[in-house]
Structure 1
Amino acid sequence: MRYGEATVTVVDPRSYMTYQPFLPEAAAGSISPRHVVVPLRRVLPKAEVLTGRVTTIDQDRKVATIAPLTGEAYELPFDYLVVAMGAVSRTFPIPGLAEQGIGMKGIEEAIGLRNHVLEQLDKADSTTDEEIRRKALTFVFIGGGFAGAETVGEVEDMARDAAKYYKNVSREDMRFILVDAADKILPEVGPKLGAYGKEHLEARGVEVYLSTSMDSCVDGHVVLKNGLEVDANTIVWTAGVKPNPALARFGLPLGPRGHIDCEPTLQVKGTDYIWAAGDNAQVPDLAARRAGVENAWCPPNAQHALRQAKVLGDNVVSGMRGFPQKEYSHANKGAVAGLGLHKGVAMIVMGKMKIKLKGRLAWYMHRGYHGLAMPTWNRKIRVFADWTLGMFLKREVVSLGAIESPREEFYEAAKPAPAAKTETPAGARTEERAKAS
């Protein structure tokens, strides 16, 4: 666009963007958490960034209502609208899940999981109560897709390394459990590599239970449909995602699973001034449909979202100037997944040929692909620097659980001391009772 031709306003409840494929490595300490996020105001210097939430959209007046972090809500007019709110964790009404579960959708959760796991090792090393120790060293992961398999692989690696520094804790004392309702894990890389991933995790001592789910986890008592019951302080929920539920309030056409129904041009159906992309959009997969797959939709992954964004940006400018819209089409290039340090699986699609890799080579493919896909050269360099230092220096195993409530210690020191109770002499109490009577 020409200078001054338009104003681009970005509204987001966070002032940064998170590169989610790196969350498992951030949870394991392989990458600094700061290097997994990109500050919006720094990378979008020509845009207006508002920290808040869009609560409603009035399509007739072309006005969005913004609820900032503090202060009163206000209206923001627009000519063109792009909805890219992403997805949230898909949960079910399981007793105890809200109180006990840990998600893996944001960097805060990855940091919290890392501190929590190391804190459990501290507890187990310092107690003589066998029940407390067993519960602290039991880790349950629900969901066997990319997020679940990668997270359990990275966290198991970290816990194995950390156990070397505890006199009373060893890897054999820990119990890792991976649960999935499907009959396989890592479906994105195909059945053969998924089976290899399952065998690999089991060889490392991870119990994998397929075709089952969790019935409850009240107070950490996990009950699975297959009859298994365990007590665990750590329950990680990675059982898929769903579109942001706020979409239901915007009056946009939604698909059967809550995604915004879009044309192949990424325009929202029935409009000529609203576009959508990424995890919250239902976009026809033209490449798959041309290959004979009926009713194919683009899967919610970074591979499509990054490419959709470029087409969407061009189409918005074309819409402003009255030019025709371009349809989005992209053939799947494969998938990569890391299962811990030097371990991974990869499926590379080259035309009609599929190359399947596993082990160290697949792990290099995983790091190389995501390292180059990480936004901005600033973050690329920092991530590769973290990996390079990790080759020569030992992994950090420090738990900083206090950062979750940093003011607690100061509050304990600064709060007023309780008033001291003064004892009344027995004779005085007798005299007071006599006066009262």
Structure 2
Amino acid sequence: MSAKKILIIGGGYVGMYTARHLRRMLRAGEAEITVVDPKDYMTYQPFLAEAAGGAIEPRHVVAPLHRVLKGVRVLTGRVTGLDHDARTAVFEPARGPARTLGYDILVMATGSITRTLPLPGLAEHGMGFKTLGEAVQLRDHVLAQLDVAASTDDDAVRRAALAFVVVGGGFAGVEALAELQAMAEDAAKEHGLDPAELRWILVEATGGILPELDGRLGAWTVRTLTGRGVEVRLGTTLDSAVDGHVALSDGTELDAGTLVWAAGGRPNPLAAASGLPVDRLGRIETTEFLNVRDIRHAFAAGDGAAVPDLTRPGQFTAPNAQHAMRQAKVLARNVVADVRGEPLRPYRHAYLGSVAGLGHRQGVAQIHRVRLTGLLGWLAHRGYHLLVVPTMGQRVRVLAGWLLSGLFHRENVRLDAR
């Protein structure tokens, strides 16, 4: 019997962990695994904010796929077309002509991309916060704004440079703002600036922030950020940002040198273009076994899939790392079962809670019914993520970075070429 060809599209949480589990579960010669992703590394998203804030080195928040997935074929490029009936995928490498990849079993782990809106000025002035490159760019940009403020005699230019607007009150937006604020306040003193001059605004369209946490923790976070001088605008949206002039729906207008767009994501468009069944949001429809509904030998999980939540009948699992990592293990088992003609297992996972870091040695955490805030929340945030980063090398490097940043001042230096 020839080895089955397993094609995994996406090298993020689901893709990398699924391939990793498959490599351990499959017998020698039983299957060939190929992972395709535009990048040759997996980014540990919860550490992006600390990488942007300078608490840890950016390169320490990524896991190189070639190193982590030894024995797995890793292709850097994009899948631009699928024909599941023919079991073929069109692959465009980073350089060179496109070619066709054949497969027997498909795993769609395409994840999500930043969700943007057609708001005036957003495309020109808004900065994303989803990739490592965007995190590094944002760090450099914030430090550049401090350089501008420290070097000008024009009060209007100075005020604009020291105004920072973050749109999105989820984990990405809140943690990005909190860590960048901590870094900027430290760097401002080095620039001869008064940290009190910095203006931070968090914009959230709903009535609360950190929606996956208990509402009381979200309210505590609002009070904490407000106490640090952050203007938290709930029930507010961004109307425009033409020429860097930010207009909010509550009537606030200001010139801001920094506008961060962290208002959620949407499924990767490849899901809708794949020919596989998708829901109205563009997520691939799956069963509780993580196989694509009504399609044989195709599986999907993560942010780009509508996975039924068996612990909450009628709902779908939340698009977070907690589910993605656990779905990957069940998905790998079911792919192996598909290879061997064995029964599939359902995915069931009850929500354990979430953690968030807020800089300044503050954080929030919810573990089942236990709620932690302040220093305890911050320690829970760091402890949890340190345990679940993909490799031991990352754990050691991240821990060393934390220890060094605790003993010495952050290195508030821009990394861009100038």
TM-score by length of 1: 0.89
**Higher relative CO (CA 8 A, sep ≥ 6), structure 1 or 2?**
2
Deviates more, 1:392-401 or 1:365-374: 392-401
SS of 1:45 mapped into structure 2: coil
Measured after TM superposition, the shift of residue 2 of structure 1 is 1.5
1:153 correspondence with 2:178: yes
Which residue matches 2:330?
311
| Aligned: 1:239 with 2:263 | yes
Asked whether the equivalents of residues 221 and 230 of structure 1 are also in contact (C-alpha less than 8 Å), the reply is yes
For the 8 Å contact 2:362–2:375, the answer to whether it is kept is: yes
Contact 2:272–2:283 (CA under 8 A) maintained in structure 1: no
Shift of 1:401: 2.6
Task: Give 3-state SS (helix, strand or coil) of 1:286's partner.
Answer: coil
Deviation at 1:186, TM superposition (A): 1.1
1:343 and 2:362 matched: yes
Residue equivalent to 1:28: 53
Amino acid at match of 1:238: A
**Among 368, 379, 388, which residue is 1:364 paired with?**
379
Alignment of 1:268-417 (within 5 A): 268-289=292-313, 295-349=314-368, 354-402=369-417
Q: Do the aligned residues in 1 keep the contact of 2:168 with 2:203 (CA within 8 Å)? A: yes
Residues 101-120 of structure 1: pairs in structure 2 closer than 5 A: 101-120=126-145
Q: CA deviation at 1:288?
A: 2.3
TM-score by length of structure 2 reads 0.93
Shift of 1:256: 1.8
Q: Secondary structure at the match of 1:128?
A: coil
* Corresponding residue SS for 1:183: coil
In structure 1, what is the equivalent of residue 156 of structure 2?
A: 131
* Aligned-pair CA distance for 1:341: 2.8
| Post-superposition offset of 1:18 | 0.4
Query: Residue in 2 aligned with 1:434?
Result: none
Q: In structure 2, what is the equivalent of residue 215 of structure 1? A: 239
1:435 aligned partner: none
Equivalent residue runs for 1:39-50 within 5 Å = 39-50=64-75
Tell me by how many angstroms 1:101 deviates.
0.8
Cα contact 1:119–1:401 (8 A) shared by 2: no
1:431 corresponds to: none
- 1:193 Cα shift? 0.7
CA distance in 2 between partners of 1:25 and 1:214 (Å): 25
Which residue is 2:29 aligned to?
4
Distance across 2 between alignment mates of 1:187 and 1:52:
34
Range with greater deviation from structure 2 (280-289 or 361-370): 280-289
Q: 1:260 aligns with which of 277, 281, 284?
A: 284
Q: Counterpart of 1:121?
A: 146
Cα deviation code 1:342-362 (max 9, x no counterpart): 10111110xxxx111100001
Does the CA-based 8 Å contact 2:241-2:247 persist in structure 1? yes
CA distance in 1: counterparts of 2:287 and 2:64, whole angstroms: 31
The match for 2:114 among 73, 89, 100 is 89
What secondary structure is seen at the aligned counterpart in 1 of 2:325?
helix
Q: Matches of 2:195 and 2:408 in 1, distance apart? A: 21
Larger radius of gyration: 1
Which structure 1 segments of 5+ residues have no match?
Answer: 290-294, 403-408, 410-437
Q: Deviations over 1:193-233 (max 9, x none)?
A: 10110010000000010101011101111011111101011
Q: Is the 8 A contact 1:116 1:401 kept in 2?
A: no
Which amino acid letter does the alignment assign opposite residue 139 of structure 2? R
Helix, strand or coil: the match of 2:382?
helix
Q: Distance in 2 between matches of 1:371 and 1:85?
A: 25
Identity of aligned pairs, percent? 52
Amino acid at match of 1:26: A
- What SS is found at the alignment partner of 2:32? coil
Give the one of 196, 220, 224 matched to 2:220.
196
Aligned to 1:427: none
Residue type at the aligned position of 2:250: N
Matched residue SS, 2:289: coil
Please give the per-residue CA displacement for 1:260-285, whole angstroms capped at 9, x wherever unaligned.
Answer: 10000000001120001111111011
Runs of 4+ in 1 over 3 A off after TM superposition: none
Instruction: Write out per-residue CA displacement over residues 48-97 of structure 1, whole angstroms, 9 at most, x where no aligned residue.
Output: 01111000101121100001111111100000000001111111111111
Is the Cα–Cα contact under 8 Å of residues 124 and 137 in structure 1 kept in the other structure?
yes
* Rounded Cα–Cα distance in structure 2 between residues aligned with 1:399 and 1:61: 50
- Cα separation, 1, equivalents of 2:405 and 2:161: 28
Deviation at 1:393, TM superposition (A): 1.2
- Residue-by-residue CA offset, 1:360-414 (whole Å, 9 max, x unaligned): 0010000001111110111111111111112211111111232xxxxxx7xxxxx
What amino acid is the match of 1:94?
Answer: L
Task: Tell me the C-alpha RMSD between the 2 structures.
Answer: 0.9
The letter of the residue matching 2:370 is I
Counterpart for residue 186 of structure 1: 210
Distance 1:391 1:223 in 2: 38
Does structure 2 conserve the Cα–Cα contact (< 8 Å) formed by 1:55 and 1:66?
yes
**How far does residue 100 in structure 1 lie from its aligned partner after superposition?**
0.7
Whether the aligned pair in 1 keeps the contact of 2:272 and 2:284 (CA below 8 Å) is no
1:231-270 CA-partner distances (Å, limit 9, x unpaired): 0110001001111112121101001211110000000001
